[in-house]
Amino acid sequence: MPTVGLFNKEGQKVGDMQLAETVFSANISEAAVHQVVVALLANKRQGTQSAKTRAEVSGGGIKPWRQKGTGRARQGSIRAPQWIHGGIVFAPKPRSYRVSVPKSMRRVAMKSVLTSKVQENEMIVLEDLSLETPKTKEMIKMINAFEVKKALIVTAESNENVYKSARNIPGVTVVPVNNINVYDLLKYEKLIITKDAVSKIEEVYA
């Protein structure tokens, strides 16, 4: 059973915490992680891009000059793609980029990333993370105590004080545990997570 250190906000170790082996010591599947990340990024795309084809731009109803005898190349319309203000060839149109991934694959990918975080010592478990008022200085102090530059901070519940304290710190993001995803876990150098949030992950993925 994997064990990680338990820290306070000052960066001092206060004990150890045993993690669920089925979640934090699972077999790592790079293929599942890759497929889930591709799907997450694809699903973020709006797909609202649009341009006009030669059939949609205005004008061009008459042939610009006669077919033969001018010495110039034949032209059928001033709105053909080779003309300035002409239509776009293979113009992009609104479409959905959505990619579906099986729930079982998402679970495998999440366990794989969490396991890699533990194996590479990139996961810091906090005994508690509570602030009476939003205070960026306190959050910076905590980040510096762990010598971290880019961090994903995961709380058990939505915590407005913690969120407001960290939102202006470059490279630091705060999310509740029910909003974490594989892409964000990979994106950040360190995962700083509360003890309660770890328990919730184990409830869902164990």
| Residues 68 and 161 occupy one common structural domain | no
The predicted structure's pLDDT at residue 10 = 85
Determine the Cα–Cα distance for residues 189 and 117; give it in Å rounded to an integer. 9
Determine the Cα–Cα distance for residues 61 and 59; give it in Å rounded to an integer. 6
Contact predicate 153/173, CB 8 Å: yes
| Residues 147 and 124 occupy one common structural domain | yes
| Residues 54 and 77 occupy one common structural domain | yes
Domain count, the chain: 2
| Residues 71 and 125 occupy one common structural domain | no
DSSP-assigned letter for residue 17: E
| Residues 85 and 163 occupy one common structural domain | no
| Residues 13 and 89 occupy one common structural domain | no
| Residues 92 and 125 occupy one common structural domain | no
Q: Which of 27, 25, 87, 85 is nearest to 53 (CA)?
A: 87
Domain boundary among 70, 96, 122: 96
Contact predicate 152/188, CB 8 Å: yes
| Residues 117 and 177 occupy one common structural domain | yes
| Residues 91 and 172 occupy one common structural domain | no
Region of 90 please: left (phi>0), alpha (psi -120 to 50) or beta. left
Question: Does the pTM of the predicted model rise above 0.75?
Answer: yes
- The structure tokens listed for 150 are 């880019």
- Full strand arrangement of the beta sheet holding 3-7: 13-18, 3-7, 123-126, 190-194, 151-155, 172-176
The predicted structure's pLDDT at residue 206 = 79
DSSP-assigned letter for residue 172: E
For residue 186, what pLDDT band results from cuts at 50, 70 and 90? Answer: very high
| Residues 69 and 131 occupy one common structural domain | no
For residue 3, what pLDDT band results from cuts at 50, 70 and 90? Answer: confident
For residue 194, what pLDDT band results from cuts at 50, 70 and 90? Answer: very high
| Residues 21 and 117 occupy one common structural domain | yes
DSSP-assigned letter for residue 11: S
State the residue range of the domain holding 18: 3-45+100-205
136-172 pLDDT per residue, tens:
998 999 898 888 889 999 998 888 888 999 898 999 9
139 CB-near residues (< 8 Å, 6+ apart): 131, 162, 165, 166, 169, 172
Contact predicate 125/153, CB 8 Å: no
